[in-house]
Structure 1
């Protein structure tokens, strides 16, 4: 749905209140289904669901209160492509990735089977500084947005993004390798199945002292709703872990926080998870208690 709103920088002839004026308390805009909508400064909105009649009623209700246009079924939105299949939907960024490859000038280059060489460990002092850093920063920034649907490069992109301030030639070479991998895997994306039960599961891991400069580890986790990937993360830990066990527990701590949030979110959406959770939480709480005791003994 395209919401025809007023441009924020346009000239207004009416008096506009950023909050309700004194003495007034306007009721919220509620749909017939009890959904509270805030459509100020919104250009587009996406309506999803299985109840076609309810969606039609909602569109009719919105059309009575706001000037809107129905753009039809969702196919392309903010660089995201939605392909409908018999067993579900595929969310990808193939066109966005193709445009990125064209801007980088590696259309005719070779492809790569992996985004990173496992034996490569980058530091801020490798090789020589780049003379023009603008292209490097543009490519890394574009690759960051590509991780919206490409979890397979979620580990590689934070590594090259660490050197945005002062990139060197070796960093640019690794950046190009990631693009060569993207070229080989243009069709990759997120598959959301429509025929499986909404059961939540997840995995966490960590590489101990993976960064050769600051010796910090990297946390990685991913969560699936049945066989559909819905959440993932790859981020360097904020402190230096003194053992591989400690780095694993820190990764588990972050994964547990995400797991709790996902369970609450699914419960709000009408798909509560009934599986056990106490074992994971107990491990994290125990690790925190042991950490506090170690500081108390110093």
Structure 2
């Protein structure tokens, strides 16, 4: 049974109406200074906490922002922290729904809709543009980290292909001609980065070398082992995301390859945040 103190308990302790208690706790005008003092004292003594869910149900606006994130992605945690800071500033609460081995994207989004969030912030979703447009017809949607060509969907994203292009130009200017790319998997962002790599390499007249990977350290470790075992090692490596880059670096260290350093090769390990 729920033994939490209720609004009625505070009112009974002070000897005033529940309406007066509600006004005091909401900071609204009406009750006298003495009544406010007694109500706040009684609420503290009883350990009363307002039922936020019930309060939100009573209002037309719930002031809830739903955020979809991958619990395995450290960069998503950084983004959520900034989202929470800004939500606090404007008086909103944040509801998190995470992607895990047993909680896929459809189920995570459905959970946010069940909470009747006023808007959804989706960090790197894999849903099709059409599916996102249908979702945006129900509630405002902001996609963070990937391109979506739908007018109803707001998008915040880095220029992934331009970033890869700039990194490759830097490596080429340093004299690197064998530059491998550790792929980030089948996601939309990874696809954009892979395309940027191939385009830049073709423009420079250099051969491409795409190594399978994903967005985990284990995937990067496997890719690094493949590279370390090749007879013609690349002189530079671009990893599609940070976690994969860490795995590649781990594999190179275990293989006795100094990064960065000169052990027959100069290896530059460059990473881009996976969003």
Q: TM-score, normalised by structure 2?
A: 0.26
Greater Rg by CA: 2
Question: Whose relative contact order is higher, 1 or 2, with alpha carbons under 8 Å and at least 6 apart?
Answer: 1
Higher share of residues assigned helix:
2
Q: TM-score, normalised by structure 1?
A: 0.25
